[in-house]
Amino acid sequence: MGQGQQEKVATSLAGAVSEEISASLAPVDAELERRYPGDPGARQPVHTVYVPGDVFAADTIRTWGDRALAALDEHAPDAASFAAVLGLSDELAEPVHARVRAKLEREPIEDLRVDFEDGYGSRPGAEEDEAAARAARLIAEAYEDGTAAPYMGIRMKCMEAPVRDRGIRTLDIFLTGLMEAGGLPGGLVLTLPKVTYTEQVTAMARLLDAFEKTHGLEPGRIGFEIQIETSQSILAADGTATVARMIQAAEGRATGLHYGTFDYSACLGVSAAHQASDHPAADHAKAVMQVAAAGTGVRVSDGSTNVLPVGPTEKVHAAWRLHYGLTRRALARAYYQGWDMHPGHIPTRYAAVFAFYREGFEQAAARLARYANRTGGDVMDEPATAKALSGYLLRGLDCGALDIGEVARLTGLTRADLESFAAPRRGDLTASG
């Protein structure tokens, strides 16, 4: 064939065949778009801090930051001592320590939940009414004056019969208080605990729908997290996997699946001494949660440790090492969020997160730069890997582990570029396998 001549391409199927196939798969296409819209692209906090409703105050966030800084000053006053406790490399010691201190001064809590469930208990009705109204007022004021955490909200009581009415009333008081104070903040997050049946999730969705209609809000404005802390939330009585059904029962309102370490472990009969986020039962539950949530836009969060870093320095260091190790383990398993129950956990939460992103930063940046520029290397990456690499860098930027300047310098990419790689169109991901 002469130069410039086009190769003749032969086909056997009539065009109508492809059209018929496309028409037959149109319902599936629509179902994929509805059920699996992909990650929402919004920031995911690295942790959630729980504070009982009667303890929450206007200065809670700053107090937690100050207590965390005081713990550092007392038990690891410089980069070398902090690195020695956690086993950080010499290369990471200074930048991680400096960034942890800066984070504690600037933004000690990324996500705060005022707790009206286990951490609050059963109180006289008038007392809980007052606490719920106060929580709404303080959160509204915090967003107004710029002292709020990026995400804030409440955990109500569950939908089981003995506490259902109380939980609904507390939620109503809280949301109504926010509306009266000027409207729902963008960082509002709600948590529904101890879910056992999908009907309870549906009830929560209907409750929020009724509130939106009452106040003329956009349908679907209010989302909520589903707390996975019962065996029934993983495996139903008929043997079917429950958590995926719960996501669908939320009717697009589910924002997260949060693992409840101790309630779930106790539900399975795990003895108290072995209730931990790295127990095999915990790993199984979170793996099911992760698979069910994949592609849906619902985020997965790990639970907490109940070993508190308090007491003499030796005991604090042991608790820090445990918390650091559990957090690093979770990050490696793509659980990018967890719970922190004490101010002393905050330094090691951020140390683990910052070390995770900083130690892999240069390699991830180099691989993404090669992919973006279509240059060779010793690893052949595909669109799905580029999605993971850019997601990794974006999470590092969001929490403060990385700076946009250093990311741009090594990748040649802007944040908008990273976001485009992190949220590709479905066809872009599937075309290369």
Q: Which amino acid is at 118?
A: D
3-class secondary structure, 350: helix
pTM: 0.92
Residue 13 has a pLDDT of 84
Angstrom distance (rounded) from CA 198 to CA 305: 28
Q: Alpha carbon of 325 to those of 16, 318, 353, 367: distances in Å?
A: 58, 11, 11, 27
- The C-alpha angle 361, 362, 367, rounded to 5 degrees, equals 100
pLDDT digits (tens, 9 = 90+) for 77-118: 999 999 999 999 999 999 999 999 999 999 999 999 999 999
Residue 431 has a pLDDT of 40
Comparing CA positions, the residue from 139, 146, 261 lying closest to residue 190 is 139
Q: Which residues of 322-352 are buried (b: 16+ CB within 10 A; e: fewer)?
A: bbbbbbbebbeeebbbbbbbbbbbbbbbbbb
pLDDT digits (tens, 9 = 90+) for 350-360: 999 999 999 99
pLDDT digits (tens, 9 = 90+) for 227-255: 999 999 999 999 988 999 999 999 999 99
Angstrom distance (rounded) from CA 319 to CA 42: 32
pLDDT digits (tens, 9 = 90+) for 292-304: 999 999 999 999 9
Task: Give DSSP secondary structure letters for 162-174.
Answer: TTHHHHHHHHHHH
Angstrom distance (rounded) from CA 257 to CA 223: 12
Residue 8 has a pLDDT of 85
- Confirm if 64 and 108 have CB atoms less than 8 A apart: yes
Query: If pLDDT is split at 50, 70 and 90, which confidence band does 66 have?
Result: very high
Percent of the chain scoring above 90 in pLDDT: 86
Residue 385 has a pLDDT of 86
What integer best gives the mean pLDDT of the chain?
93
Give the number of other Cβ atoms within 10 Å of residue 201's Cβ. Answer: 25
Angstrom distance (rounded) from CA 62 to CA 66: 6
The whole-number average pLDDT for the span 167-186 is: 98
Characterize the bridge pairing of strands 111-115 and 47-52: parallel
Task: Give DSSP secondary structure letters for 211-271.
Answer: HHHHHTPPTT---EEEEE-SGGGTB-TTS-B-HHHHHHHTTT-EEEEEE-HHHHHHHTT--
Angstrom distance (rounded) from CA 96 to CA 141: 32
pLDDT over 60 (residue 37): yes
- Confirm if 301 and 330 have CB atoms less than 8 A apart: no
Q: Which residues pair with 361 in a beta bridge?
A: none
Residue 6 has a pLDDT of 75
Angstrom distance (rounded) from CA 293 to CA 285: 12
Q: Alpha carbon of 277 to those of 196, 274, 294, 371: distances in Å?
A: 20, 9, 20, 36
The domains of the chain, with CATH numbers, are 47-358 (3.20.20.60), 361-430 (no CATH)
More confident residue, 431 or 149: 149
pLDDT over 60 (residue 2): no
Angstrom distance (rounded) from CA 222 to CA 236: 27
Residue 235 has a pLDDT of 93
Residue 430 has a pLDDT of 42
The whole-number average pLDDT for the span 19-37 is: 93
Q: Alpha carbon of 229 to those of 93, 286, 307, 312: distances in Å?
A: 36, 11, 19, 33
